[in-house]
Structure 1
Amino acid sequence: MKKQTLAVKKPLYIVLISVHGLIRGHDLELGRDADTGGQTKYVVELARALGERVDVEKVVLLTRRVVDSQVSADYAEVWEPLSDKAGIVRIACGEDKYLRKEMLWDSLENFADNVLLYLKSQPRLPDVFHSHYADAGYVGSRLAHQLGIPLVHTGHSLGRNKRLQLLASGIPRSEIESTYHISRRIEAEETTLGSAERVITSTQQEIEQQYGLYDFYQPERMRVIPPGTDLTQFFPPQGDEKTSPMAMALKRYLKQPNKPMILALSRPDPKKNLVALIEAYGGSPALQQAANLVIVAGNRDDIQEMENISKAVLTEILLAVDKYDLYGKVAYPKHHKPEEVAVLYRLAAASGGVFVNPALTEPFGLTLIEAAACGLPIVATEDGGPTDIIRNCRNGHLINPLDRAALADTLLQVLADRVAWRRFSRNGIAGVRSFYSWPAHVESYLSVIRPLVEKAEPRTRMSLRRRSGTFREQAIFTSLDQNLIGDPVSLVPFLQTMQEHRKAIIFGIATGRSLDDALAILKRHNIPQPDVLITGQGTQIHYAPNLTEDAVWTRHIDHLWNRQAVHDILKEMPGLTMQPKSNQSAFKLSYFIDPAATDVNAIRRLLLRNEQAVNVIFSFGQFLDVLPVRASKGLALRWCAEKFGFPLEQTLVAGVTGADADMLRGNTLGVVVDNRHLGELADLANIEKIYFSKQPHAAGILEAMTHYRFFVDDNAGTAA
């Protein structure tokens, strides 16, 4: 029998490509501008970490050479060593001066040609390219095709998601194109996804919810490799943290500073759900007895001078502390330095405490990994990245961020069971080393790269079709109660249809429920988060995948709105009873109405006589909502149509009650879904473009899709 010999694996030559920003091996100018953030830090640290491996021959990080008196001369150096085997090579890319990434698109072919000349001057060609962000993906795609070298790509952020965020911030579509060249970016991303042999992401959710919107979405080519964590910065308590300036700062707030600490750390954003955490703590005397609560929500000097969203969240935090009289039990320090974040984790761990992330949605959860590395057990939202982290590290519990009682009970459970606490602490430290340290990251990374180089995995090609345009030009908007929910049997084929056409349409839900309530309903019925979520009868708009709130809409509807005046006018009105506080909001007054005792039109006339320009909405035979005159489901829908650019003529709108009337009227393809409140929409029966379905619930929406031939060639048709 012939003796087999094992082939020695050839060390790899890896080329990383990261075109934009200011990249150097020391004193990274993180936060200098939008282009000098986490990506620049990641690629430098990845190059260094790869250079430490014996199975890596050489690592070159290619970036743009910048010759500009406005920035350091470091960025003009053609070669900068990072270690014996790793270094940065700077290549000319159009103009010499420093430019933001959006201004580089016309120079990328120039950069690619110069990179090709550099590579051909080297002793050998690289084994693999790894591009970072869309611009590098475009360059990497060209080089991969020219040289026949496999391409790996990391997007870091994606254009389709970025466009939603920019629209939510109030930037007009035309300005988004002229400033950010978003169409070119999305086209580059599509090109890259069609060329890359592997796409590396941080979480499975990123694959499904963000990349899933692209025509060249190929999930079998995608691999989840979480980013590495610096264990020289994040480590268990050493004892000196108790005398640190941060420890002294916390003592100002706390009557019993030696009690275990429940630590929450995030920016002041409604999605982070910090107020709900305080309410959970305030509603549990046992939890207050067991631990202090420490909320670290960014840095502040004067809340009144902060931007509106941060100001609103911080104000709500202070009001919640006051409401539950939590003085002496809750700390909310005004300032912290970046290096004090690790100290906070260690202080909490040393106290026998717990780290909590109650966010409504959490794409990754870097703070959870940092806390775990410091030996601090975690309690985190069951949405997104935390599911991967807790599965890998086995160091805490997942919670429904909308269930305050369960959140309090889970925190109390972690604090009370000291045996489990020590197990969680040990597991977290070990889990981060195994899954989230830089050595672990590089080990996983090379396990993805090497099979491509050795051709040990098949390089399959899917037959994919591009859409005619860059953006989705059809939309479906539906109400929630007695429409999507109410019949789980018909909901299944409806959701399957939405999934099949997710790249072709924008899916929106418009409801009178609050954001928290709507999210809870979606979770309970396994309805995926829509692209657009209109809540509070049209007073709030949020966009997927991160529930980004449209702050401009909020400012827009504030026109002529005087909530207190409306309340005072209606407080003696017979037949009206205020709904619970949970149904009220800054832009919505909600009542139960007895139609036998009062008339909706009389209420409208009364408010008008008192110079209150408002929208009065009657629905489900018993609810009355008073909104700003610029707010309604229909007005919110049209606001979104203007932002996203989908035509109303290609928008299917499904409603069931009076609150949906102005969504259904106009140029939309309307369907009144069969239900017991049809009388509220009876005046729509004579409008030609509004279809009345014969089936209720989601089956009625599917019926309307057939009636309008909505998905024929993915173009909305005329009525059959």
Structure 2
Amino acid sequence: MSSQLIEAVLNSSERTNLRQFASQLRTSEKQYLLRNEILTVFNDYCQTHDISEQFIRQSHLGKLVSCIQEIIVDKESLCLVIRPRIAHEEAYRLLEDMTIVPMSVSDLLDLRDRLVNRYHPNEGDVFEIDMDPFYDYSPAIRDSKNIGKGVAYLNRYLSSKLFQDPRQWQEELFDFLRLHRYNGYQLLINERIQTQRQLSDRVKQALTFVSDRPKDEPYPDFRFDLQALGFEAGWGNTADRVRETLEMLDQLIDSPDHQVLEAFVSRIPMIFRVVLVSPHGWFGQEGVLGRPDTGGQVVYILDQVKSLEQQLRDELILAGLDSLAVHPKVIVLTRLIPNADGTLCHQRLEKIYGTTDSWILRVPFRDINPTITENWISRFEIWPYLETFAIDAERELRAEFGHVPDLIIGNYSDGNLVAFLLARRMKVTQCNIAHALEKSKYLFSNLYWQDIEHQYHFSLQFTADLIAMNAASFIISSTYQEIVGTPDSIGQYESYKSFTMPDLYHVVSGIELFSPKFNVVPPGVNESIYFPYYNKDERLEGDRQRLEELLFTLEDPAQVYGHLEDTSKPPLFSMARLDRIKNLTGLAQAYGQSKDLQERCNLILVAGKLRTEDSTDHEEISEIEKLYQIIHEYDLHGKVRWLGVRLAKTDSGEIYRIIGDRRGVFVQPALFEAFGLTILEAMVSGLPTFATRFGGPLEIIQDKTNGFYINPTLPEEVAQIVITFFDQCQQDANYWQKISQAAIERVYSTYTWKIHTTRLLSLAKIYGFWNYVSHENREDMMRYIESLFYLLYKPRAQALLEQHRQR
């Protein structure tokens, strides 16, 4: 597609325009231009040469430029990195005589190295990582629109192959059903059924038996009759539920269908013990939210655990296993921090509130260097301790479960690496959830990694990401664009497809984006904490009064900076960490630059800390200083309240509702947001929500229907979009309510934890089933991944450990 577009330009009168545009690029000061810069230069070129808007939109050259992601100016040529469609990238060299030459991935990576003076051809080739050969034997999705729907594709693909040989299919299914046990107790079928043919006959006998019984008759009342036929517990808790499940099995034996197969496998009791891994610390239920490296991830996992345990419990009850004292257990694995700073992070076991048998299990890092390991360690510094942590954690998990877990879910880069190590050792299904990958958040972080290695250690993090994402049985993303972006922007996982770490390695192919391991399963909100502002009966009057005072009138320099001259104005509200990506200072600047916006509303920020001396995080310190500077520069005194507090989750829920009481709005101005839980929290509370167009919010919000998109890099535009909303509210008394109600309905229809955990467990079962029946030998891939761990990751982790020892 790209080559055809280039040829169309070169074989037309537009060839002259391309030559002129290329000349303008060569005379620019920049050697490396990204998409927005390329579009700006092209627009400047068109204005200079009096070229029409129609040409920009409809010409071959205009279409070509719109597809270019990068341009590297290299002596006598230009390198054009073109993304003609989602998940596809091509590179070409445009010579001065307008000759176009395709570039290989290796050539492109060499050029990027040369750009930063890190290309050393006389010293030999750089190490290349290529995962492509290990995906050759796996099915691959063809249409990029279906990326993120991996399990649906896998079901159709493998079912069609397996169902072609009925005898093989029936034997595979029979063998799989015989596998399942709980604490040594046989489930589903017993030794009275010895062959797949016998299974088919007995299913029909059992169907006749249960069909004659009352629909709601409890399983224990006819348990022994089913046992005599060869069926153990696990088919259902009532006669009707057992009949439904057996009918699915009967259909699969006689006339298999991939949709019935998915429904049937989702009912099989396969998962009883689940581990969620989040090592980097400050993981607790009190006193940790909002600390560096925690916040959203802790909230996400705790909410997920509660829903996960409930879903497991509901499924086991429906399977008829509660009568046999079969109960789920969920453990969040994190690190124990001896110097816990007043939190419970030094406590080995902590029961998770609102659960029956879910726990936070904290395992300490080995006491290699007490001045480091007895304290909190940043997620950027944690890498030397993860391998031994995984070894120690395996022992602790086996002790807690009395068994190996059935599913391990990693979270973030460090958690996914530990999940890989544990799953490899215990031969368990591994699920990855990344939330946000740092590589996408920090521009050119791989290209200039050596310049920032002392601060971020991205050589370790990006290597860990490559290892974990390829090793995972399946990967859950919150949005489609988290995987492959949009037509205009590259996705988080897509950024790992090919890249260079100069002087370290080249990634020729880091991940197969069309692999069916990717599935979009968005998170939900905790509906007991975040609910619409008009649900008065569920709100506590004492909390409302206390928090209203905190938001609007409390004078306490330890908690609040600024006062409001006119508290009757609707609040423009935001709540996030004070770091560069969250961009609260950008929102303050947009507010400060707009007198019209200041006249319409007050700005209220809940942003962690007020004083630089209370923080050890360099980004947070910088943003604190910047926020004070903006308030003073634009004289926002009397219009801004900055709350430097850590809020309990219940308080944050009530604060959203108080903003709703006053017909306020929520703004999420992040420069990039992988998903955006605060967006869901605000929307389900009933707040009209304005959120960044860079990342997950594009899939949560439907613009101007249940919320609004903003470009946080354009402060004037941000202000104008909010002003237009408030103007519309003045013209239409029902407009605020209309957007509010649409936001609430959007969350309840799509973003609940019930939906999330139902899908998560279904995926875990289906991938477990297909891993068994497909007999796919992944050992070659796993050995290659282990080589990356021991030859690349581990030596660098040990080098960082030596640095820690010298502190």
Cα deviation for residue 165 of structure 1 reads 9.5
1:277 corresponding residue in structure 2 = 590
Mapped to 2, the partners of 1:31 and 1:269 lie a distance apart of: 11
Query: How many angstroms does 1:153 deviate by?
Result: 1.0
Residue from 190, 194, 199 that aligns with 2:470: 194
Alignment of 1:446-457 (within 5 A): 446-455=761-770
Distance 1:115 1:52, change over 3 A: same
What one-letter code is carried by the residue in structure 1 that aligns with 2:329?
Answer: V
Structure-1 separation of matches of 2:296 and 2:693: 25
Paired AA for residue 246 in structure 1: L
Paired with 1:261 and 1:70, the residues of 2 have a C-alpha distance of 36
AA at the equivalent of 1:140: A
Is 1:144 the equivalent of 2:420? Answer: no
Runs of 5+ unmatched residues, structure 1 = 471-720
Q: What displacement does 1:152 show? A: 0.4
Aligned mate of 2:685, from 349, 357, 374: 374
1:443 maps to a residue whose letter is T
**1:128 paired residue among 407, 412, 436:** 407
Q: Quote the offset at 1:409 in angstroms.
A: 1.8
Q: Is contact 1:135-1:188 (8 Å) kept?
A: yes
Q: What does residue 315 of structure 2 align with?
A: 55
Q: 1:195, CA displacement in angstroms?
A: 1.0
Write the mapping of 1:10-89 to structure 2, written as runs, cut at 5 A: 10=269, 12-18=271-277, 20-22=279-281, 26-27=285-286, 29-30=288-289, 34=292, 37-53=295-311, 54-55=314-315, 57-61=327-331, 63=333, 66=336, 68=338, 80-82=350-352, 83-89=355-361
Query: Does residue 311 of the first structure (1) align with residue 625 of the second (2)?
Result: yes
Given that residues 65 and 77 in structure 1 are in contact (C-alpha distance below 8 angstroms), is that contact kept between their aligned partners in structure 2?
Answer: no
- 1:360-415 deviation line (CA, Å, top 9, x unaligned): 54443333222222211123333322222213995222244522544422342255
Deviation by residue 1:464-495 (Cα, 9 ceiling, x = unmatched): 999x999xxxxxxxxxxxxxxxxxxxxxxxxx
2:698 matches 1:387: yes
Tell me what 1:257 maps to. 567
Describe the superposition over 1:115-135 as per-residue Cα deviations: whole angstroms up to 9, x where unpaired. 169549966543322122334
TM-aligned CA deviation for residue 23 of structure 1: 6.7
Is the contact between residue 571 and residue 604 of structure 2 (CA under 8 Å) also seen in structure 1? no
Q: Distance in 2 between matches of 1:303 and 1:64?
A: 28
Taking the aligned partners of 1:369 and 1:400, their CA distance within structure 2 comes to 19
Identical columns (%)? 23
Q: Return the offset for 1:212.
A: 1.9
Q: How has the CA–CA distance of structure 1 residues 415 and 168 changed in structure 2, closer, same or farther, with 3 Å as cutoff?
A: farther
Give the aligned partner of residue 236 of structure 1.
532
Could you tell me which residue of structure 1 aligns to residue 454 of structure 2?
Answer: 175
User: In 2, Cα distance between the equivalents of 1:65 and 1:189?
Assistant: 20
Alignment partner for residue 607 of structure 2, among 284, 298, 315? 298
Query: Structure 1: which amino acid aligns with 2:432?
Result: H
In structure 2, give the amino acid aligned to 1:388. Answer: E
> Contact 1:141 / 1:192 at 8 angstroms: preserved in 2?
yes
Structure 1 459/43 Cα, relative in aligned 2: closer, same or farther at 3 Å? farther
Counterpart mapping for 1:657-672 below 5 A: none
On the 8 A contact 2:277/2:408 being kept in 1, the answer is: no
Q: Measure how far apart 1:430 and its partner are.
A: 3.5
Flag the structure with higher helix content: 2
Task: Kindly provide the amino acid, as one letter, of the partner of residue 315 in structure 1.
Answer: Q
Matched, 1:112 2:425: no
* Structure-2 separation of matches of 1:73 and 1:301: 21
1:93, distance to aligned residue in structure 2 (A): 5.5
Sort the Cα spacing of 1:336 and 1:18 in 2 relative to 1 into closer, same or farther, 3 A: closer
| Structure 2 residue matching 1:137: 3-state secondary structure | helix
Aligned residues: 456
Secondary structure of 1:194's aligned partner: helix
Change (3 A) 1:145 1:302: closer
* 1:562-596 C-alpha deviation (Å, 9 max, x unpaired): xxxxxxxxxxxxxxxxxxxxxxxxxxxxxxxxxxx
1:268–1:160 CA distance, 2 compared to 1 (3 A): closer
Note if contact 1:354-1:414 (Cα within 8 Å) is conserved in structure 2: no
- State the one-letter code of the partner of 1:419: N
Distance change >3 Å, CA 164–CA 98, structure 1 → 2: farther
8 Å CA contact 1:278, 1:321 repeated in 2: no
How far is 1:78 from its partner? 5.8
SS in structure 2 opposite 1:418?
A: coil
Distance 1:18 1:393, change over 3 A: farther
What residue identity is the alignment partner of 2:310?
E
**For the residues of structure 1 that align with 2:448 and 2:595, how far apart are their CA atoms?**
33
| Secondary structure at the counterpart of residue 332 of structure 1 | strand
- Superposed, which structure 2 residues align to 1:616-695 within 5 Å? none
1:426 matched residue in structure 2: 741
Letter in 2 for 1:351: R
For the Cα contact (< 8 Å) 2:278–2:334, is it kept in 1?
A: yes
Deviation at 1:350, TM superposition (A): 1.2
Cα deviation, residue 334, structure 1: 5.5
> 1:553 matched to which residue of 2?
none
> Does 2:640 align with 1:331?
yes
Q: How high is the TM-score relative to the length of structure 2? A: 0.47
Give secondary structure in 1 for the equivalent of 2:272. strand
Q: 1:245 — aligned with what?
A: 549
Among 198, 205, 217, the residue aligned to 2:511: 217
Query: In 2, are the aligned partners of 1:265 and 1:297 still within 8 Å (CA)?
Result: yes
CA distance in 1, matches of 2:476, 2:725: 34
- Equivalence for 1:397: 708
Does the CA-based 8 Å contact 1:304-1:311 persist in structure 2?
Answer: no
Q: Distance in 2 between matches of 1:307 and 1:118?
A: 38
Aligned with 1:454: secondary structure? helix
RMSD: 4.7
**Secondary structure at the residue paired with 2:682?**
helix
- Deviation string, structure 1 residues 253-304 (Cα, Å, up to 9, x no partner): 55653343333445666744324532675247xx93xx42323263676799
Change (3 A) 1:14 1:207: farther
